[in-house]
Structure 1
Amino acid sequence: MRFERVALENFKCYADADLSLSSGVTVVHGVNGSGKSSLLEACFFALYGSAAIDGPRESVIRTGEEECAVELWFEHAGGRYHLERSLKDYGDRVSHDCVLEGPGEETWEGATAVDGAIADLLRMDASAFVNCAYVQQGEVNKLIHATPTERQDMIDDLLQLGKLEEYRERASEARLGVTDVLDNATGRLDELASQVEAKESKDLHERLNALESDLGETTAEIERLEDQVDTARETRDDAQAVLDEHEEKREQLDEIEADVEELESTVAATERERDALKEKIAQRREAVEEHESVLEDRLAESELDAETVRNADGTVDVDAVAVERDALGERVDELQERINELSVEIGSASDEAERLAERADELEAEAEADREEADELAEAVEAAESELADRREKVEELGDEIAEAKAAFEDAPVSLGEAESLVADRREEREDLRGEREDLRATVESLRDRIEEGERLLEAGKCPECGQSVDGSPHVDSLDEDRERLAEKESALEDVEGALEDLADALEDAKALRESEREVSSLEDRRENVQQLLEEKESTIAERRERRESLLADADEHEEAAEDKREAAAAKRETADDLRSDLGSANAEKAEVTDRIETLDAVVDASEALADAREDVRRLREDREQKAELNDERRERLAEKRERKKELEAAVDEDTVAEARAEKERAETYIEKAEGELDDLRATRDDLQSRRGAVENEIEALEDLREQREAARERVEALESLYDEAQDLQEMYGELRAELRQQNVETLERMLNETFDLVYQNDSYSHIELSGDYELTVYQKDGETLDPDQLSGGERALFNLSLRCAIYRLLAEGVEGTAPMPPLILDEPTVFLDSGHVTRLLTLVETMRTEYGVEQILVVSHDEELVGAADELVHVRKDSTTNRSTVEVGEAPTADLLADD
């Protein structure tokens, strides 16, 4: 599998990004926090959706946005795929949409369908992906810190062995389930047999015949009584009809009486209302007189010609008054417009004066600030010149230290730059001598055992087992040769041990040279940094001197400009005072005109109030006349109601009512007695029917029990056969899983040791042992064992990377190319590695690509060694202003790019 392209929109720190990825080793490079890891997390999210997000789903949406999207194009098993996932935050929920387009017309839509398709293509879910192909930042030690059981579960799941255990457990559960069901079925068969026997002893058919005979007699008696009850009910209903008719007439009489009372009350109330209206008319006539008087007063105040503006009814001509008022209104508008213009001019002049004064203050403050900054720059230049001298002295001191460190190579067996190789040679010689020493020790021990055995035989004179004489025995005849050979080997062993002691001293000397070599490199780097700082400081001093001269010139200009601004501000204030005098005159004239307009409005208001009062009098008179007409109509209806009341009182006959009540009571008494008898008979009938139904049900249940007994017998036989099959299946899955796990453990151990030898060559470790329970043990070359947790931080990181790469190889080779593996992804793998370990990591990465055929390796790192070894470099930058990250692709890192980081 190979990632071809990834596109991001509003994903974490990316507003938008589009990146094409090639085969080989791609290193994603950039400063910490620039968004390197987010690129790989986007690929992980595209493949596995919500399962790839650590936290709430909306956490990957860029701050300030409501939705994000990631598109991934990849090639897998010869087919090309396009996968798109998007999230949208609605506040109370987050929607998740995704589509996967495969070769041809094949398409999957929706999270469930796409997640299933990805798991089928890669043969791994999200958890398996991060345990195999994706080493996430900070989790490089995940497998080493896991317990053997957790590690076993992880690797078994990756190798699909978990399915076999799942099948075995299912078979076991099925067997146990069959046992429970078989026990239940056997018990059920015994229970059914007992139930059939109990029911057959009850003579159910004879009991059914007797019950049917009793039921027929009871049913006939019920039918006879029901006919008599029907006749009594007809008599009762006829009597009730007479009573109902009487009650209806009584209700009509009550309604008529209520209507008469209501009409009498309404007529009286309406008459009271007419009296009240009469009083209101008198009041409104008085109001008319008051409004006429007010109108006369207002006309006198208005200076209008009363004869010209008065109407025939005593009111005024509103239109004539409006003409005069409009003329006055126009004058008010003219005055207001003048007032507004003067106010604006006054405000403008005042604001301009204030602005000029404020600007003068600002210019004076700027001049003072420029002079203060110039003084500070003078002090800074003086301090920087002192610091410059200290740094020149530091450069000379570092030069002396470098010369002193290089002096260690004057009489050394190697030149500067070759110490690391010398240490490696000395270690290799030591390993050869140690191997030779172990061989000699084994030979010496074997010879001593043979000599002791021969001496025991010689002392005994004969073999203790067979009783034969030891004369001529090979063990006895070769004793002298063995003693001579033992002496030679012991001497050789002493020589080798002496050589090892000498070589230990030589190795320490070589390590001392290597330390001197590293010190020279470190000192030269420091001197170069100090020299660079020295040059920067000299440049800074020159810039500050130039800046000081510029500030002093600016201060003089600001002070001259401030004086000009203050003179202009004084002239603007005089202009504003002249305009305020004109504004007072305009306001006085406007007040006089406004008073005349208010007087005219009062004339119109008084005239309108007079017209309204006259209208009220007219309306109240009409209302009083209407109420008189209503009462006349009500009195006519009242006479009709009284006549109908007399007719209903004559139609009520109390004797007929009494006779109907007596007939109804007799009929109800008989019905009550007959229904009591019917209830008893029906209860008897229901009991007989229930008992007959019960017997019929028992007969039916007997037949059903016989059928159930036969079915239960057949089920017991089938379950006994199924139990045997489930037990065989459980044993088969267990044996198959154990066999496959052992094969995988052996293969994984071999691959792990191959990778281990690659990254730990020339170290003190011999090999790794992986037990059948996935327990990991590291063997040192002296035979001692270590738990992986006892390794140093850098060694643990390399150990775990070796284990991850071995698992990756095992999965790739296990499927024989039928399901190509995803890219190998390493996120910040150098966190715990020093420079030596980083070099070994580079060797591991190159071997995975060239020898083990990993088509694509993606690495996130800011380590310069990894950057330099990349086939393709992706540089990530973040804008500090917008907090947005961008990507830039290049074939190899440049000096400028490295300096930027």
Structure 2
Amino acid sequence: MRVLSLRLKNFKCYGEAELGLEDGVTVVHGVNGSGKSTLLEAIFFALYGSKALDNRTLDDVITTGEEETSVELTFSHDGERYRIQRELKLRGDRATTTTCVLELSDGSVEGARDVRQAVTELLRMDADAFVNCAYVRQGEVNKLIHASPRERQDMIDELLQLGALEEYRERASEARLGVKDVLDRQEGALEKLREQIEQKEHKELHERLNGLESRRAEVTEQIDNYSQQRDAAQATLEEAETTLEQYEDTREEIDVLEEEIEALRSTIKATESEREELLEAITALEDERSETEADRDETVASLALEVSGDSSSETEIRETVEDRLDTIGDRDEELRDQLQTQQIEIEGKQNELETLRSRAEELEDEAAEARTEASELAETIEEDEETIEQRTEKRANLEKTIETARATFEGAPVDVGEAAAYHEECVEARDECQSELASIDAKIEALESSIEEGQALLAEGNCPECGQPVEDSPHVDVLEERREELADLEDTRESCVEALEEARGALESAESLVEAERTIREIQERISDATTLLEEKRERLEERRERRETLLERAVELEETAAAKRETSAEIEAEIESAREQLGEINGERAEIRTERETLETVADQTDRLADLEQRIDTVREKRASKAELNDERRDRLTEKRERKRELEAEFDPSKVEEARTKKQNARDYLEQVEPRLEELEETREEVQGAIGAVERELENLEELRADLERVKARCEDLQSLYDEAETLQTTYGELRAELRQRNVDTLERLLNETFELVYQNDSYASIDLDGSYRLTVYQKDGEALEPEQLSGGERALFNLSLRCAIYRLLAEGVEGAAPMPPLILDEPTVFLDSGHVTQLVSLIESMRQLGVEQILVVSHDEELVGAADDLVRVEKDATSNRSRIERGEPPEAALLAAGSD
């Protein structure tokens, strides 16, 4: 993953700013408080939104006095390009997100939460993992060192995605506990089922069922006896009712017969009228048949069909028409097949034509793209050639600067490479002179004081040496000796002062030689770096030239292929036009066939119409004759009904009717008495039946309980097995996590030692130990073990940076597929470092670059880090507006050239 560009508007201390980032080491340089770290915070915020703000709120990122802000970040990953845009706006005293979009190659993701989730999935790390791995924020350089082993373990496990295994282990544990709860409930249900079965077995249900069934048989027998008597009374009642009904039926039948006799008379009259109407219909149909036959004959004549003439039968005409229809139908089928074949051929050629044209367009587009890319490469080649020329000139200027520095040693007492030793000699000489001068000054001061005291004693008449009276003192001349000694010391002091001045002059010369020697070394390193960059640039230039030639050749080849396909498409288009002409001829012939078929079908329809009319005439005649027969039958039925009416009137007997009414009343009286008794017995039987049903249900429930008992037993066995499996799965996840963690620990320890060794070459530390709990121990070369906290502040910070870099390498090497690593970002990493450790930090950055880290971003106010930059970004703040601005700094070699020219 590489950051390509960042664009800000009203973000914290920036009004409007835009920053493009290249591969390699980019140093963002500026004084403290100028807004350097804000650029890194903007990148972090663009990726993760509010999750990147710690305890701050969204309104904290909006520039004071403004109402809205926007951040736009463009980055690439695994060959794809992405762009994130976030816009905030103040609503009252709170800021809300108005726009949050992640643009992908195949669409976009919108919404703060969805964008953050998409970025987390893309980079395979959330905001915390990003900070713990790639983004060393200001003041957090010692975060991993100060973390407890448990916290460090959680951080690294989360980065290496081992937290998922712990989550799975916890899920397995929760599942195991859940299964245990269900198992306990099932075992409780099993015990309850056993108690219920035991209670029902004590009721002796089968004995109770036998007694109830015997009682039901007795009641049923009584019911059957009363039912038989009731059925006999019911039969008598029904027989009496039948007799009475027969009387009523006879009376009704006589009435019906009278109505039917009258209806038959009316029907016979109406049918005779219908026969007259049918006779008129026959006459009309015969007229229509004559007209249709004349039309048919005229149509047959127009077709010139080979029939025998007026005497031709309907069958002959129909057969002739059908034969002709078959003939033209066969021809039409043949033409339709030809038409279909021709259409398929045209469609195939049309598809082939479209394919050729489409392919020709694609080839032309590819050729145009190749030429466009070749043109862009040509511009890039010109830029590369200009860059190579400039860098060659810069290297030549650097070499001249070295010659200028070497000229400093002309006439010097030492050669290049001996300045440091000469400087030390000069320092020693100066120090010796200063020491000797101080000693002489002390002696002079003591002598002067002694002479003053001697003169005072002598003025009092005492010896200046022993303080005795002069006449008695043996040391009266000592004062003159002291004056002579003082004069000698003053002469010696003058010589010493001259020697000190000479030593100081030599020291100043030595310091200038040391500075010149340092400048020579630095410029030699820059020349070496510039030479390497120049060679790389030349190699890339050659590759681009070859690529451009290949693209141009490819464009010519594609254009020739496209032209060939367009020629082929023109030929196919001519073939399609010819086929369409043949298609028109076939359609013309088919149109003639359709016209003849329609005429033939008209003849066939007319012939069928004649047959239909003949049939209808016969049908109407038959119908008229049928109605005559119906009237004859109706007259016969009229005679029969009159005779039946006379018979029914003769059968009527009033005494049988009265006897039937008496039997009906007696039967009703008995039924009214027997029904209540039967209802009482039925209720008794229902009660017994209900008791039997209750016992049977209890027996069924007993069997169900026994079946439930077996089912719950099996369920308990399954749950016990599932519990054991969940316990095994929980253990497996734990062991797998421990095994993977140990593998990562071993790899991380190796990478950490490699990185630490690059930083601390020839120093006092031998190795670093990282145990399975992520506890860190540093071993000195004498074997003594140290906790990281025992290191000095600078060593501890550098140690933590080495650990961060090792974790970065572990993730880059251990993730399958394209390593989703963001740039290595260091925010003010020199806070706890002295000048010596800053040099080691530069070595660490260079080693990470050599190990393949494509992009490293360093924010610092330290001037020494500028020398390690491939690209320099300077940040300044306007004291009046309190707004920061970004300026591109000169590359390090350019700065050296400028210094050399001065």
TM-score (norm 1): 0.45
TM-score (norm 2): 0.45
Task: Choose 1 or 2 for highest CA Rg.
Answer: 2
